[in-house]
Structure 1
Amino acid sequence: MEPLGVVVVTPPWNFPLSIPAGGVLAALAAGNAVVLKPAPEAVLVGWHLANCLWDAGIPREILQFLPCPDDEIGRGLVTDSRVGGVILTGSAETARLFLGWRPDLPLFAETSGKNAIIITALADRDQAIRDLVRSAFGHNGQKCSAASLAICEAEVYDDADFRRQLRDGAQSLAVGTAWEPTSRITPLTQAPGAALRRALTVLDEGEEWLLEPRPATDNPQLWSPGIKLGVRAGSFFHRTECFGPVLGLMRAENLDHAIELANAQPFGLTSGIQTLDDREIARWVDRIEAGNLYVNRPITGAIVGRQPFGGWKASSVGPGAKAGGPNYVLQLARWRQVARPAVDQEPLSESLATVLDRCLAGLTDADARSLLEASAASYARAWREHFSREHDPSAIRGELNAFRYRPCRHVIARGMTARPEAAVALCQIILAAHVAGTRLTVSLSPESEPWVGLAECAGVELVVEAEAGFVDRLAHPLYREHGWIERLRAWEPISTAARAAANGTGVTVIDAPVLANGRLELRWYLREQTVSRVLHRYGSVTEPDA
């Protein structure tokens, strides 16, 4: 293991202690030096954090505190060639800005969210309203995990009593100064930006106010809660993060339609469902596209150790390991294979054995064949013992907090097979993708040796293309719109043009050495997801149906 070197931690202002502490400590644990650049709105909290760590024995040369404005000075910090990685919690626009400045930047970013709670006809509506109001208006909606949309099944949306109770619940929140302990809605940290101002003041076609937000007469940063009805699919409010105290309601014909609406946007951070029907829960958990899922509870307030936090799609930029999860520290170092993993006696599955045989057919070197066989065994073992299982280390009675892995929808691998070690790396990628259940496109440069058998591997598409064609493939606008390719796994150096094209369409570049160790290599073909479910009602603990 080799540390990245110097890691810059750029946290947000809304969690000024926990988020920077998590990033700093993870980077230090991986052996890196750290530069903490606090948010300009939270410099003092960052300073106290740095002093606590210095007092605890972290050398000042290893942890440096650097408050600076978000201008050319901040840009100089991020783009400095001596920086080995950046941990960012902020907007998707900021992440794209960083990568535009420096396309080869190792960026680990938790970004924007446009989060929805689905409320079905089989929900406890009183509970749903309570959890929705808390999720939408807690912290004035200034949390990336906040509920911005309530997608209601038709029976719920059309229920006049539901609307009245929801309106009353939001309207009852005390609005006032942060110095008043009874205030539930307090001033925003800054005047509303363009997106939030539009959300607070403009109704698009078909929309109307269930509860119209109003600014305080003496403070332009203090707004009362707002609730919109009639938000339409594809509209501004449906697909735009606004980051403030405004909620939109959408009408869905049924649960499948509601899931379609929730998924029809670029983000995938948090999502929730309110229903007492286990069949609906199972269908939603299987199909929703978000990193943190919540069943019959608020969708904010993830607790490290219970619900590792991080999103999918445009809500995550980089490898996608969740904060507080088992892979977060691992991604902050570069791992190299120094010893071959042991081959156990557990037989490979028939399909994996078939793929391995086709890969071995193209290799003549005995050491390469032995390495590939050890890789296949390690991948199968890692899948069997870790990646295929749901993990709930907190084991809290009355809750289920399952951490699990889901296959990436599509990974593209790029390189050549002219060198023996490159051919082995390609075969390892094919084996790892097969074990993870991930569709794989292999893009070979024209200089590669022909390898007909690879195209016959299940789930593998083989193309031979020059660099210009590969860049055009990565830059295709449908990748950005639909996320068809999630990651680029490279076993050869990637050009700046290819990196820029991948960054522009949200494709994460993974250029770490290809490893025979399955616990480390399989991470790149899988997405992490946490499912948090309340298992008690009014003091009675229940267990979900198997």
Structure 2
Amino acid sequence: PASGKLLSALTTCGPGESWLVEPTKLDKSGQLWTPGVRDGVAAGSEFHLTEYFGPILGLMTARTLDEAIGMVNAIDYGLTSGLHSLSSGEIERWLDTVDGGNLYVNRGTTGAIVQRQPFGGWKKSSVGAGAKAGGPNYLFGLGSWVDAETRARGADVTVERVQALIAALPDFDTVTVSGQAWLTRAARFDEVTWHNEFGAARDVSNVGVERNVFRYRRFPEPVIVRFSDGAEPTEFLRVLLAAFRAGNIPLVSASAWLENKIVRSLGELGVSVEIQTEHEWREDLGRREKELSGRRIRLVGGSPAAIMMATGGRPDLAIWSGPVVTAGRIEMLPFLREQAVSITAHRFGTPNHLTDDIEMGLLS
């Protein structure tokens, strides 16, 4: 039966709100209710910011598109969002700025189809690594990966931070010559992966009258990278190369095991490094547990179970702890978010080209 916040939403209007369609309880137990629609929901109100799993809808009014986008992005969740517009400029603006794992333009916001619209949200609408069901990365989180030797050359490195870190490798005492070669090779592979996968947007369904684009967005917060006692500095640097290529400047917590020359070089690249013991690291996470909502951690060594215990096992904190590998297809995932965009490409059955010129991919 309806209880708590849902019961309140079904029975009580907030300040300035009124019922357009008032819900009615249909049985004594309170398990069946008719749908309800309320008007006058204000930005920042309880109804605006609360997620309700029940037949209740609130209407809000925005004076501009940017104001409406701000209302959407203000909530802690980001599963689906939709826009109806015949303005290419409005559509492009909305696609660039709204927070949501599945976006819909000029169509309904339900009925996602596997592969055509891989399904999964952002922020608190995501649990764990956030790979979309029916998407190309879903199986990655269901197993573990080990490094595989390859002789492919990759492509020239184009990102300045990656270039600078590669150039500094010979100065590090704890990185061997073979380690330098491995890291350079990984950075070159990242370039290929970026251009073939993460930097591109693709419509594998090719329906014609509906654009169904799968793409990646940069994770908006610094990912926390932890270098633990006994971990290999080469593996830690590999993770940072992936972060830099994906456009993320991580926050680093490292044990005293990390070489001072590496710490100084990272500081010159704008990366904050805090030296902490394992105990200090876990205590720090525990103190900041509420601040970690929707954040991501990449562990290099250490125990993911200990981190889960320290943070209360919160489901909206994603932890990557697998072996570090050469493949950027794996290592760049913690620094990116997946997004599926579905756009109706016809008007009452007549094909249109309203969004043909909108660039969907990450260009740099």
TM-score by length of 1: 0.61
Q: Label 1:325 to 1:505 Cα distance change in 2 as closer, same or farther (>3 A).
A: closer
Partner of 1:412 in structure 2? Answer: 224
Q: For residue 314 of structure 1, report the CA deviation from its aligned partner.
A: 0.8
- 1:381 matched to 2:196: no
Q: For residue 217 of structure 1, report the CA deviation from its aligned partner.
A: 6.2
Partner of 1:34 in structure 2? Answer: none
Partner of 2:296 in structure 1? Answer: 487
Q: Which amino acid aligns with 1:402?
A: V
Number of aligned pairs? Answer: 349
Which protein has the bigger strand share? 1
Spell out structure 1 runs of 4+ moving beyond 4 A.
Answer: 217-220
Q: For residue 261 of structure 1, report the CA deviation from its aligned partner.
A: 1.1
Residues 349-392 of structure 1 show CA distances to partners (whole Å, capped at 9, x for unaligned) of 15132232124432551211111111111111111111111121
List gaps (5 residues or longer) in structure 2: 358-364
- 1:442 matched to 2:256: no
Which one of 7, 11, 20 corresponds to residue 201 of structure 1?
11
- 1:278 matched to 2:88: yes
Q: Label 1:445 to 1:331 Cα distance change in 2 as closer, same or farther (>3 A).
A: same
Take 1:340 and 1:369, find their aligned partners in 2: how far apart are those partners? Answer: 15
Q: Secondary structure at the match of 1:318?
A: coil
Partner of 1:366 in structure 2? Answer: 177
Which one of 24, 47, 51 corresponds to residue 237 of structure 1?
47
Q: Label 1:216 to 1:496 Cα distance change in 2 as closer, same or farther (>3 A).
A: closer
Take 2:29 and 2:334, find their aligned partners in 1: how far apart are those partners? Answer: 48
Partner of 2:267 in structure 1? Answer: 455
- Structure 2 contact 210–346 (Cα < 8 Å) conserved: yes
Take 2:289 and 2:16, find their aligned partners in 1: how far apart are those partners? Answer: 29
Q: Label 1:372 to 1:433 Cα distance change in 2 as closer, same or farther (>3 A).
A: same
Partner of 2:112 in structure 1? Answer: 302
Take 1:395 and 1:466, find their aligned partners in 2: how far apart are those partners? Answer: 52
Q: Secondary structure at the match of 1:319?
A: coil
Q: For residue 192 of structure 1, report the CA deviation from its aligned partner.
A: 2.1
Residues 110-136 of structure 1 show CA distances to partners (whole Å, capped at 9, x for unaligned) of xxxxxxxxxxxxxxxxxxxxxxxxxxx
User: Which of these two proteins has the greater Rg computed from alpha carbons?
Assistant: 1
Q: Which amino acid aligns with 1:456?
A: E
- 1:348 matched to 2:157: yes
Take 2:100 and 2:170, find their aligned partners in 1: how far apart are those partners? Answer: 38
> Which stretch has the larger CA shift, 231-240 or 194-203?
231-240
Take 1:491 and 1:252, find their aligned partners in 2: how far apart are those partners? Answer: 45
Residues 89-142 of structure 1 show CA distances to partners (whole Å, capped at 9, x for unaligned) of xxxxxxxxxxxxxxxxxxxxxxxxxxxxxxxxxxxxxxxxxxxxxxxxxxxxxx
- Structure 1 contact 359–453 (Cα < 8 Å) conserved: no
Partner of 2:210 in structure 1? Answer: 399
In the TM superposition, 1:155-194 aligns within 5 A as 191-194=1-4
Q: For residue 270 of structure 1, report the CA deviation from its aligned partner.
A: 0.8
Take 1:414 and 1:441, find their aligned partners in 2: how far apart are those partners? Answer: 8
Take 1:433 and 1:350, find their aligned partners in 2: how far apart are those partners? Answer: 11
Q: Secondary structure at the match of 1:316?
A: coil
Q: For residue 505 of structure 1, report the CA deviation from its aligned partner.
A: 8.1
Take 1:505 and 1:310, find their aligned partners in 2: how far apart are those partners? Answer: 14
- 1:464 matched to 2:247: no
Residues 482-533 of structure 1 show CA distances to partners (whole Å, capped at 9, x for unaligned) of x4xx211011113644323444483211100111111222222211110111
Q: How large is the RMSD of aligned CA atoms in angstroms?
A: 2.1
In the TM superposition, 1:45-64 aligns within 5 A as none
